[in-house]
Amino acid sequence: MKATTTPSTSTPVAHNALPPPSATSTARSSRIAPHSHIKGLGLTAEGIAAPDGAGFIGQTNAREACGVVVDLIKSRKFSGRALLLVGAPGTGKTALALAVSHELGAKVPFCPMVGSEVYSTEVKKTEVLAEAFRRAIGLRIKETKEVYEGEVTELTPTESENPLSGYGKTVSHVIVGLKTVKGTKQLRLDPTIYEAILKEKIVVGDVIYVEANTGAVKRVGRSDAYASSYDLESETYVPLPKGDVHKRKELVQDVTLGDLDAANARPQGGQDIMSVMGSLMKSGRTEVTDKLRREVNKVVKGYVDQGVAEVVPGVVFIDEVHMLDIECFTYLNALLESAMAPTVILATNRGNALVRGTTDVVSPHGIPVDLLDRCLIVKTDGYKPEQIAKVVQLRANIEGLKLGSGVLERIAEEGERGSMRYALQLLSPASILAGLAGRSQIEVEDIAEMNELFLDAKTSASNIGADGGFDGGRMS
């Protein structure tokens, strides 16, 4: 390998070697999600959209329409149909879909995907769709179980000489002391449970429960006796459990049909629906057949009839839906009409387009008319500069950037020329330019320099000559 010596260091460095990991790269702050400012639709109790609410600026018609759909979903009158969001790029379609999911509540399963996700070499297209639909149907299971619950007072693995392997010791059992308000108990548990304890990172002072017949271990939280010593932690503190250590306890667990399918695709034995959950941790993908789905449905129906479980229909969100092809669309029609279907939200920014997988079917949004027929269509509108300015200000606050005077107006102008997304995307590079110039605040000249460095989509398109190339050079 060719080695060059850089003047700054005396050690030879391989020409294209990666730079050594710096201390700061590990301490990188987490990426800021582009929709983190959206908290909901921001509607009043009467369903009227305030000009800005819950992080949403403008777009009042679309927000009110989505509010109606949320009401329909909540009163379970939206089956067999889909919500289709259409509009130009960067007008907030994805943001609207996220807001709808926020409005439905945290416990309602939300399964987002992009149209192109169906194209995989391993799994059939229809299978990907079917799986997404199954993952969007939740099941709330209530079961009374025999458990040992308490605050961990002692955690001692006992090692013994392993007669089979020549070296080392193995854990033969683990002693766990549990304490409740009423008393304490010492349990002698199997080494497999010790593994589960390690996996859940359980330490002395945590409140846990161990299921008596499956041995599943669950960490409830940290005992609040320890609360003062960990002030700055994002930890859930729970009171010392009441009653005996050994008792019957009602457990509520939220799973999705997709989880159940996956868990049962690798048979573990045992008819108990909760014990099936334990196997979720084991990875490996096995084909989920229709037969298996029917079996799971049958078991689920049994549980629902007994009143043990409750079905919670969720939402499937398919972004860039024009990327689906005709096979997927027909399958989608069928899925929409199946007995246990979640709510479907679709989004696209295409106008009239060829339906993928066909050679001559052109239809609005690239969606065949029979599916369009089943859709409630909501259109998103473009933004005025002052609305763009408000969103930019919101994002600047969230990203912790300071804007100098006139910057907001300037970015809003850019946004009107380009798009809302372009305006938002100017923020972070502009802050880097400001940082290079030794300022902590973004000024108008940073935005001006940005325009020299980068192009928005429309400017870039207008630079391309009539022959489709740059300066006569064709791009192919």
Ligand X SMILES: Nc1ncnc2c1ncn2[C@@H]1O[C@H](COP(=O)(O)OP(=O)(O)OP(=O)(O)O)[C@@H](O)[C@H]1O
Cβ distance to ligand X smaller for residue 34 or 469: 34
Closer Cβ to ligand X, 93 or 134, answer by number: 93
CB of 345 to ligand X, least distance (A): 12
- Residue 58's binding partner among ligand X, Mg ion, none (Cβ under 5 to 8 angstroms by kind) is ligand X
- Give the residue at shortest CB distance from ligand X: 92
> What's the min distance (Å) between Cβ of 134 and Mg ion?
24
Q: How far is the CB of 324 from ligand X (least distance, A)?
A: 15
CA pair distance 411, 385, nearest whole angstrom: 9
Please identify the residue of the shown chain whose CB is closest to the bound Mg ion: 94
Torsion of CA 457, 463, 466, 467, to 10 degrees: -90
Binds 242, which of Mg ion, ligand X, none (CB < 5 to 8 A, cut-off by type)?
none
Q: Looking at beta carbons only, is 131 or 319 nearer to Mg ion?
A: 319
Match 């100098």 to its residue by tokens.
Answer: 404
Q: Which does 34 bind (CB under 5 to 8 A by kind): ligand X, Mg ion, none?
A: ligand X
Q: What region does 357 belong to: left with phi over 0, alpha with psi -120 to 50, or beta?
A: left
Q: Which is nearer to Mg ion, 60 or 94 (CB)?
A: 94
8 A C-beta contact, residue 279 and residue 315: no
424, two tokens = 């938002």
The DSSP letter of residue 325 is B
Least separation, in Å, of the C-beta of 419 and ligand X? Answer: 8
Instruction: Select from Mg ion, ligand X, none the partner in contact with residue 349, using the beta carbon and a kind-dependent cut-off of 5 to 8 Å.
Output: ligand X
Q: Which is nearer to ligand X, 81 or 390 (CB)?
A: 390
| Separation between Cα atoms, residue 83 and residue 372, nearest integer Å | 10
**Helix-strand-coil percent breakdown of the chain, rounded to 5?**
35, 25, 35
Compute the C-alpha angle 91/94/100, nearest 5°.
115
- Nearby residues of 473 by Cβ (< 8 Å), 6 or more positions away: none
- What is the nearest approach in angstroms of Mg ion to the Cβ of residue 367? 16
Structure tokens at 146: 């025999």
CB under 5 to 8 A by kind: which of Mg ion, ligand X, none does 35 bind? ligand X
- Provide the binding-site residues for Mg ion, judged by CB under 5 A: 94
Measure CA of the first residue to CA of the last residue in the chain; give whole Å. Answer: 35
Cα-atom radius of gyration of the chain, to the nearest Å?
A: 28
Residues 6+ apart with CB under 8 A from 303: 139, 141, 273, 309
Cβ of residue 54: shortest distance to ligand X, in angstroms? 9
Catalog residues that contact ligand X under the rule CB under 6 A.
34-35, 38, 55-59, 87, 89-95, 349, 391, 420-421, 424
Nearest to ligand X of 56, 110 (CB atom) = 56
C-beta closer to ligand X: residue 367 or 420: 420
Of these partners, ligand X, Mg ion, none, which one is at the site of residue 296 (CB under 5 to 8 Å by kind)? none
Edge-to-edge strand list for the sheet holding 375-379: 110-114, 315-319, 343-348, 82-86, 375-379
Nearest approach, Cβ of 84 to ligand X (angstroms)?
13
Please report how close the Cβ of residue 391 comes to ligand X at its closest, in angstroms: 4
Pick what 391 binds: ligand X, Mg ion, none; C-beta below 5 to 8 Å, kind-dependent: ligand X
Task: Give SS3 for 467.
Answer: coil
Secondary structure E strands in 326-449: 343-348, 352-354, 362-364, 375-379, 402-403, 441-442
Q: In terms of CB distance, is 58 or 342 closer to ligand X?
A: 58
Residue 350 touches which of Mg ion, ligand X, none (CB < 5 to 8 A by kind)?
A: none
